[in-house]
Structure 1
Amino acid sequence: MKILVTGTAGFIGYHLAKELLLRGDEVVGLDNINDYYDVKLKYARLKELGIDKDDIKDNQLTQSKTYPNHKFIKANLEDAETINRLFKEEKFDALCNLAAQAGVRYSIENPHAYIQSNVVGFLNLLEACRNYDVKNFAFASSSSVYGLNKSQPFKSSDHSDHPVSLYAATKKSNEMMAHTYAHLYGLHCTGLRFFTVYGEWGRPDMAPMLFADAILNDRAIKVFNHGNMSRDFTYVGDIVEGVIKVIDNQSTPSQKFDAATPNPSISSAPYKIYNIGNNSPVQLLDFIKTLENAIGKEAQKNFLPMQDGDVVSTYADVTDLMNDFGYKPETSLKVGIEKFVKWYREFYK
């Protein structure tokens, strides 16, 4: 299968591309390598995929030196001309869109970046799939769409109409845009609401990396809401397993959809929304303790109030993924954190 994976210089995109390449798929990676966080980490991920920084040219394909079945293009999703040319020339069987302007808190500071990448860019991908006959469109949504919803565990059938950050609002808009294209054009669309992913090659703006950096450099970590928070921390290897199941199995119209009482996760169109998480929330202070144990050093803690745009807890109901694909995360927090810390020490010396 020939697959376009956007966001391959990113955390999950890198892991997904590598796993697809190892099993023999042909993968074209796309990323704009923006400076939202340290680009050295992004280029290091690409290097692992056989893409050298010095070989990369804007809007041109670069052949991997490690994987004969891999090419990479540095491009912006909002560049419709380049996106259309890529789809026309490469003739993809499937697309997995993981590229987006990430970060809940940064969306408060720089809202325009989110609309351009996450909305305009997403539309360009939908149009390219429609015009160039891509069979399957899988895309990253987020647990942040649940917003003010207090009912837990979060179910994909829950309504998610009260986001508390612009990032969440753009992800919700992606779901609705995808449904429109599924309905109008029969495009097979599947959205995955990710729940707090961690692991090797992770994002520096997320808790595991922030905390590890602070602990190892004798700085206090920031513990928001005075530690009264929980997250459905999910190891990246488990996430990738679920994403691949969705890439391999395109969505179909649901016989259970009732327009009189519509379930927002299914449709009479070929459209489906899944939660993808560990199905086992962890208290923030327990997470910190697990990280301290793996590092072998206690953290200095600075307890702070809740931040704007944040939520107290996340908890994924993954029943649909389990029923449809037999998906069940297997990696315990202890094992996942130990793998992360081992990588962190090696990468950052």
Structure 2
Amino acid sequence: MDYNTTPLVEVEGLQMHFSMKGGAFSRRAGVIKAVDGVSFKVFPNETFGLVGESGCGKTTVGRAVLKAIEPTGGKVIFDSKSGKKINLVPMTSDELRPYRQEVQMIFQDPYSSLSPRMTIQEILEEPLRLAGHTDKEYLFEQAKHMIEQVDLRSSHLMRYPHAFSGGQRQRIGIARSLITHPRFIVADEAVSALDVSVQAQILEILAELKDKMNLSYLFISHDLSVIKYICDRVGVMYLGRIVEVAETDALFHRPLHPYTEALMYAIPDINERQIRSDILAGEIPDAANPPPGCAFHNRCKYATDKCRTEVPALREFTDTFNGKEILRESACHFVEDIYYKHDEEIV
């Protein structure tokens, strides 16, 4: 992966704040910072993963990036086919329409995402019709081509969704998302509703199509095993913020944030580390009333008074992995003291 190229998508300081109301007159009672200043880049033909516990804000990031919900701050810079860089955040629905074919989403639930009253052919043709295509032969040929790309048969086009398993329905959903030949895909928990054996098949299809169609993915998941399999780089989220960014192999070899380290130890079959159920002790703070300083300090075994009062910035580091220097990011006050001086405890 060449990280010296122009990013396809640059997310800068993305915010998604929700007002809370309370009292007899529904006055504003506070703000929930579901996403609070998230920044990352997705490069051409890259799969960038977002991982974290439930409620960390990763799904909200995905929806805000695609403008399925309106961000309350920040930028989403998209390098369009025309070569023009555009900020999607301030654009109206009409202004976004020309770019909708270039950015698509793969949904989590393969059952509710397909209309039961439409045939598979109609489901696949619908995005093309919305894009202005009307030629019936063209529509059918495109539907036939895409259903075969996800390892289903053209004879399946005349059937309805109820005739398919969950894994087959997700393949149909993938075909629908890709039929307009987009460049950027947000896959939100795209395999979490499927059996493990089926997950592997879907991940393999996504990886093959990425190379075949020159796609870039923002892949959102709570499952570290899935992230490790499909992602080139990973951003780890906690309570609305990214706390670590690294190439996937380097992240799993040596995490550089206490939260990432805790996730590794809490989940089986990750780097053969011994499972420790106590490593993520304590509760996730309330997003409506986050703790001062580092949001993870109440669960962190390394926390000091500085962590309880000062918010750590997401800082860039030069690390060595597999004999080469790579750039990494971590939002921990004591990265150098904890990890670089005690490497043998982490690897």
- Structure with bigger helix share is 1
Whose strand fraction is larger, Structure 1's or Structure 2's? 2
Larger Rg: 2
| Structure 1 and Structure 2 fold alike (TM over 0.5) | no
